[in-house]
Chain A
Amino acid sequence: MSAKISVQNLTLMYSDGVESLQNVSIDIIANAVNVLFGPAGGGKSTLLRALNRLNDLADVDTAQGKIVFNEQNILDPATDVIELRRKVGMVFSRPAPLPLSVYENVIYGLRLMGERNKSLLDERVEQSLRQAVLWDEVYDRLNDPGTSLSGGQQQRLCIARVLALEPEVIMLDEPTSALDPVSTAKIEGMLATLKERLTIILVPHNVQQAARTADYAGFFLQGRLVEYAPGKELFLKPREKETQDYVTGRFG
């Protein structure tokens, strides 16, 4: 097990003065499902947005510490954020297809890079949609608007869209919170396959999903990383009382 991303003493403050992350250190393990979970407002989404510098869009005031990815501190202002975001992809909790066709949604990132080769694009569309377990459902409606798909299909479209860029890391922020159990199972199953090739960071939408999917799990509480351990360990015999209370449902 090697660290794909190493977060070191990260403290992050929004301009309203709230410290959303306090001195967080965590190693995201390569080729594994890294689960970050905890109650609302714990800073999970904030951490994800830090990992691909999407926080640049929010009014983050200060970010101290280091985030090392491919031997570079990505908090360094000189970081090529475009390149970073291609390598560290993100799936949001509400399925958000762009106002484009299914096909154009999938290759959006490639188009941005100026890719024009039609056969390469066609190939990448099929490959990404297959990886996202969506191809069989949409291969004959690639030119329909992305929003014409069902919610569950839309979310897999969003995953395919990230996969089309062949990222090294894919982050999913409560990707199944708006989906039914069948769609949820499809996405969870897909993650198990995907982790052979890339690194996954998942913010689950409940503790059960955390326990089902985690190879490694970190418990976040009010901006602190309370505990970080292999999934089985953390859910079966947590070291910290706060973790135990939360996973056994005795929390708040």
Chain B
Amino acid sequence: MENSDAARTSRRNALLGVNLLRLITLLTALPVIGVIVYIIVRGAPALSWEFISAMPREGMRAGGILPAIMGTFYLTLGTAVFSVPLGVAAGIYIAEYAPDNRATRLVRIAIINLAGIPSVVYGLFGLGLFVLFLKFGTSILAASLTLSIMTLPVIISTTEEALRQVPNAFRVVSTSLGATRWQTIKRITLPQALPGVITGVILGLERAAGETAPIMFTGAAFFLPLLPQSPLDATMALPYHIFVISTSVPGMPVEIQYGTVLVLLIFVLGMNVIATLIRNRARARRQW
């Protein structure tokens, strides 16, 4: 009797604990949901075909935001071109080839810390290295390279982590059947790690797409009458455009501000959704 009483009490306590955790989770999610709903409500009226397909008019107070959308698209693409091959290659090297010694550990710590550096520091670094020293000027190229440097640590770490999660038995078996290290990576390890790698890549690029500080000094323009014609042109970009129209344009209609924020949000959340879909699909198919 006493026993079942104690059991009941402990079950009730457990239930209480779980519900408490539920509540806390809900509370932390609430502000995020609130922000998203608010932006949708305020921004949706501005959305129209013209808004996403036309050039700005009347000192950006009317018309569309096409150059900012295209600019963010180019910058994200440019960042991907540099950071994905390099980051994945470095992740593969660290996970599969690098000997487990002090130098490797040092590099790994450096990469992890690199991910924590404020983005404005990357912006100044890019200004010094790409814009001025390498003379790329304020350009898509310089901004993409700057964003790449910021994105690399994320891609390297997630690639490494994804590879490490592949069971070692596969490597041993593959080797025992006459595979070189690279054959094992190409045929087994990397395909198995690919969902994780892609998720990391998208999360990294998503962050790059939404950053203002790194592109502010390296490639973003206040206003341009034309779309960029080459990688050496400067470009407008969504995050910087938001900054500009919220701080520097008097008489800016509020819907346009929220509309632009909403477009950026859709861009970034869209990438997030793709990452989640890839991950879920791969998880369902995974054989270990």
Tell me if A214 is interfacial: C-beta within 8 Å of chain B.
Answer: no
Number of interface residues, chain B, beta carbon within 8 A? 20
Number of interface residues, chain A, beta carbon within 8 A? 26
Give B contacts to A, CB under 8 Å.
169-180, 183, 187-188, 191-192, 286-288
Tell me if A165 is interfacial: C-beta within 8 Å of chain B.
Answer: yes
Inter-subunit contact B173/A98 (CB<8 Å) = yes
Interface residues of chain A: helix, strand, loop or mixed (majority) = helix
* The one of B178, B180, B188 that contacts A98, using a Cβ cutoff of 8 Å: B188
**Interchain Cβ contacts within 8 Å, total number:** 61
Inter-subunit contact A86/B169 (CB<8 Å) = no
| Chain A residues whose C-beta falls within 8 Å of the C-beta of B176 in the assembled complex | 52, 54, 85, 89-90, 92
Q: When A86-B178, A112-B183 are in contact, do A99 and B172 touch as well, CB less than 8 Å? A: no
* The one of B170, B175, B178 that contacts A99, using a Cβ cutoff of 8 Å: B170
Inter-subunit contact B288/A99 (CB<8 Å) = yes
Tell me if A94 is interfacial: C-beta within 8 Å of chain B.
Answer: yes
What's the nearest-Cβ distance from chain B to residue A231, in Å?
A: 27
Inter-subunit contact B188/A99 (CB<8 Å) = yes
Inter-subunit contact B175/A165 (CB<8 Å) = no
- In the bound assembly, the distance between CA atoms of A200 and B1 in angstroms comes to 63
What's the nearest-Cβ distance from chain A to residue B234, in Å?
A: 47
Inter-subunit contact A85/B171 (CB<8 Å) = no
| Chain B residues whose C-beta falls within 8 Å of the C-beta of A145 in the assembled complex | 287
Inter-subunit contact B177/A161 (CB<8 Å) = yes
| Chain A residues whose C-beta falls within 8 Å of the C-beta of B175 in the assembled complex | 54, 57, 85
- In the bound assembly, the distance between CA atoms of A89 and B191 in angstroms comes to 25
Q: Top 5 closest A-B pairs, CB basis?
A: A109-B177, A99-B287, A147-B287, A86-B178, A90-B176
What's the nearest-Cβ distance from chain B to residue A241, in Å?
A: 36
| Chain A residues whose C-beta falls within 8 Å of the C-beta of B172 in the assembled complex | 54, 57, 92, 96
* The one of A57, A85, A92 that contacts B178, using a Cβ cutoff of 8 Å: A85
Ordered by A's residue number, 11 sampled pairs between the chains whose C-beta atoms are within 8 Å are: A85-B178, A89-B176, A89-B177, A90-B176, A92-B176, A98-B170, A99-B170, A99-B188, A112-B178, A145-B287, A165-B177
Tell me if A82 is interfacial: C-beta within 8 Å of chain B.
Answer: yes
- In the bound assembly, the distance between CA atoms of A82 and B47 in angstroms comes to 61
- In the bound assembly, the distance between CA atoms of A111 and B184 in angstroms comes to 12
- In the bound assembly, the distance between CA atoms of A82 and B177 in angstroms comes to 8
The B-contacting residues of A in range 89-107, CB under 8 angstroms, are 89-90, 92, 94, 96, 98-99
Residue of A nearest to B191 (CB): A99
- In the bound assembly, the distance between CA atoms of A115 and B178 in angstroms comes to 13
Inter-subunit contact B173/A112 (CB<8 Å) = no
* The one of B169, B177, B287 that contacts A162, using a Cβ cutoff of 8 Å: B177
Tell me if A108 is interfacial: C-beta within 8 Å of chain B.
Answer: yes
Q: When A54-B172, A92-B169, A92-B172 are in contact, do A99 and B180 touch as well, CB less than 8 Å? A: no
- In the bound assembly, the distance between CA atoms of A145 and B178 in angstroms comes to 21
Q: When A98-B188, A99-B192 are in contact, do A109 and B171 touch as well, CB less than 8 Å? A: no
What's the nearest-Cβ distance from chain B to residue A158, in Å?
A: 8
| Chain B residues whose C-beta falls within 8 Å of the C-beta of A83 in the assembled complex | 178
* The one of A52, A89, A94, A161 that contacts B169, using a Cβ cutoff of 8 Å: A94
- In the bound assembly, the distance between CA atoms of A123 and B187 in angstroms comes to 22
